[in-house]
Structure 1
């Protein structure tokens, strides 16, 4: 058995995920009691569940560095969360700050995730893929994934990360 296959086989079979949607407009709608759609968060939950993992919680935050870091720091301390998935705030607009909020809290960044994500995105959407700042890394023995806010991007990103999540968690906790 090759080393990566051995590590993958030693990874936990049961993982618990938390999905965080980053969207000021949705956050303000929620705060004012209005209905809002969270298609990307819903898609993430569906894909995670279909892969056989458990979603233990969801959150909605504004495009705000302090708010994003605050929720991530809380989730990194929770023993019932193995993987945190953020959707939204990864573009190049001034308000897109998820990457800036999350990156400093990562102990190790998985640069290859962003590379593979952008390659697959390029194959689907062409040169617009260069604007994606999708990100993944580990901190405190947990996997943290930052995906663009479109349902298609969530599907692409989780299609890459879900098969490797147990392997990543195993290594991050070794």
Structure 2
């Protein structure tokens, strides 16, 4: 790591507050029907964030609908208790996968390297199926938004190898 990166990371915020938004029509319907939060990937995200010493201050499950996704993200963006938003699910290529279509127009800047490196690492682990991921990250209104696939393996990879090691550093630059 370069001296500049080390310096920037040392100047980055130490306390981060996350929003976790799971995009899944089936999980949303189950929540509406039974009132039970059945979201293993979202639970794994929360666990990894807390294990890193950060907080989760906003959590939702939404259906795969662009307007609902955008409305929920806007609520998180307006919250003073949210620094970083993690969108889980809806990043594939099926017609119902609309997370990227909902989020991309909202971003001030895209962090292209996130998706590129995510797919590179995924390729090393799962092979050519990594092509199907449209993982995305960017900045919006002084906050950072990550869109990751909903599989438990993708959650672990993205949080452990990319998001948590760089979240504070990215947020620092976003707010300069």
Give the TM-score band, short-chain normalised.
over 0.9
Structure 1 gaps, min length 5: none
Q: Distance in 2 between matches of 1:36 and 1:123?
A: 33
Deviates more, 1:26-35 or 1:36-45: 26-35
Q: Distance in 2 between matches of 1:104 and 1:65?
A: 11
Structure 2 gaps, min length 5: none
Q: Secondary structure at the match of 2:53?
A: coil
- The alignment status of 1:161 with 2:168, answered yes or no, reads no
Q: Give the aligned CA root-mean-square deviation in angstroms.
A: 1.2
TM-score (norm 1): 0.96
Aligned 1:25-174 pairs, distance under 5 A: 25-33=26-34, 35=36, 37-159=38-160, 160-174=162-176
| Cα distance per residue 1:13-52 (max 9 Å; x no partner) | 0000010010001111111126462111001001111111
Q: Distance in 1 between matches of 2:11 and 2:31?
A: 41
Q: What is the CA-CA distance between 1:2 and the residue it aligns to?
A: 2.0
Q: Distance in 1 between matches of 2:145 and 2:158?
A: 12
Q: What is the CA-CA distance between 1:123 and the residue it aligns to?
A: 1.1
Q: Distance in 1 between matches of 2:39 and 2:69?
A: 17
Q: Distance in 1 between matches of 2:37 and 2:49?
A: 22
Q: Secondary structure at the match of 1:32?
A: helix
Q: Secondary structure at the match of 2:167?
A: helix
Q: What is the CA-CA distance between 1:97 and the residue it aligns to?
A: 0.2
Q: Distance in 2 between matches of 1:142 and 1:78?
A: 10
Q: Secondary structure at the match of 1:137?
A: strand
Query: Which residue of 2 is the match for residue 16 of structure 1?
Result: 17
| Cα distance per residue 1:147-167 (max 9 Å; x no partner) | 001111011111211111111
